[in-house]
Amino acid sequence: PVRPPKKTSPKKPPTKQQAAMAEEQMEEASSSAAASGTPFQLQFDKPIPFQIKLAEWNPEKDLLAMVTDDSKVLLHRFNWQRLWTISPGKCITSICWSPDGKIVALGTEDGFVLLHDVENGKMLRSIKSHDVAIICLNWAEDEPLSRTDKEDLLSYEDRTTRFFPPAPVMPRIGGLNSGDTGLADENEEAIQAFSSASCQRFNILCTGDKDGCICFSIFGIFPIGKININKVPIHVQSSGKRTSYRLQDVSISKVSLSRNLHQLVLLCSGKLINTDNLSLSNDLSVGVHCLHLDTSIFSNREK
């Protein structure tokens, strides 16, 4: 004969003393785990007489660029030595470095991109890219080509110097230093250094604003395109059925261009609208969305 299973009494909840002992054991375990690894160490604790709202490390040097609440820009070394302080005169809303660490880019509340020299903080260029505040910046550089990729590309030789004399040098205007105007520098070595250093590697500056627009600029100064995320169709394939969506009232939070320039990943806030059936859209579709955009056109520029 089959015996009936024994009845088990429900477990009693732990007492306060048992709960306290369990908490102590967890704290001991976490402290021992931290001791066995390499804990973070505080290097500096320097007081600053103002609030810092933005900060960005230089990708090549021990430099930290910071933006204060009153939109002053400070440049410090890792040992907290201050190199310079500038006041652009505009409300700064975003910051990033060029890939070589020689230029700091600032986005403003009125849609300007300001490019400043790392050496002295001098403004090199001011570009009106947006109509509203620039929320985020991302400056991406194309990864170096492999040997096989280089063999596939057609090389171009500039032969104008064989047939034409060199262009005349623009006269220097008194009271202005190099970089203050768009005129050529009379120092040929400086031009050659810029051509071989800054233009050697293809790079793109991406800027996103609070109205859902993203702008792209080659080397940070030559605009090549603009995307309005509010107008980008989003197609989702599920259970053999394709549904079309669109984002409304978009505000860009973060943009990141891949190293090979093939993809753009962005975070944005907005409302997701079902364009096939507007009645299905509700307040639950309002939130933060992550989009992947195909930007392989940038990497296929040689074609």
Q: For the chain, how are helix, strand and coil distributed in percent, rounded to 5?
A: 20, 40, 45
- pLDDT given for residue 218 in this prediction: 93
Angle, CA of 11, 14 and 15, to the nearest 5°: 135
**CA neighbor of 214 nearest in space, from 204, 203, 233, 228:** 228
Paired residues of 190 in beta bridges: none
Question: φ, ψ for residue 157 (rounded to 5)?
Answer: -115, 125
Q: 267 exposed, middle or buried (CB, 10 Å; 0-12, 13-18, 19+)?
A: middle
Distance (Å, whole) CA 113 – CA 207: 9
Residue-level length of the chain:
303
Cα 140 from chain centroid? 8
Closest residue by Cα to residue 129 from 195, 191, 218: 218
Side-by-side strand order, sheet with 286-294:
234-238, 241-257, 263-274, 286-294
Separation CA 261–CA 284 (nearest Å): 33
Give pLDDT tens digits along the chain (303 positions): 555 555 555 555 556 666 666 666 666 655 655 555 567 677 777 777 889 999 999 999 999 999 999 999 999 998 889 999 999 999 999 999 999 999 999 999 999 999 999 999 999 999 999 999 999 999 999 876 554 454 544 444 455 454 455 555 545 444 444 444 343 343 344 334 444 444 457 899 999 999 999 999 999 999 999 999 999 998 887 777 888 889 999 999 999 999 888 999 999 999 988 887 766 555 557 899 999 999 988 877 554
Task: Give the Cα separation of 209 and 118 in Å (integer).
Answer: 25
Query: Which residue in the block uniquely carries the two structure tokens 């030789």?
Result: 157
DSSP of 97-156: E-TTSSEEEEEETTSEEEEEETTT--EEEEEE--SS-EEEEEEEEPPPPPHHHHHHSPP-
pLDDT the model gives residue 183: 37
Fold of 52-128: Thrombin, subunit H (2.40.10)
Cα separation, 54 vs 65, in Å, equals 8
Question: According to the model, what pLDDT value does residue 20 have?
Answer: 64
User: What tokens were used for 97?
Assistant: 């470095």
Of 148, 138, 146, 129, the residue nearest 224 (C-alpha): 129
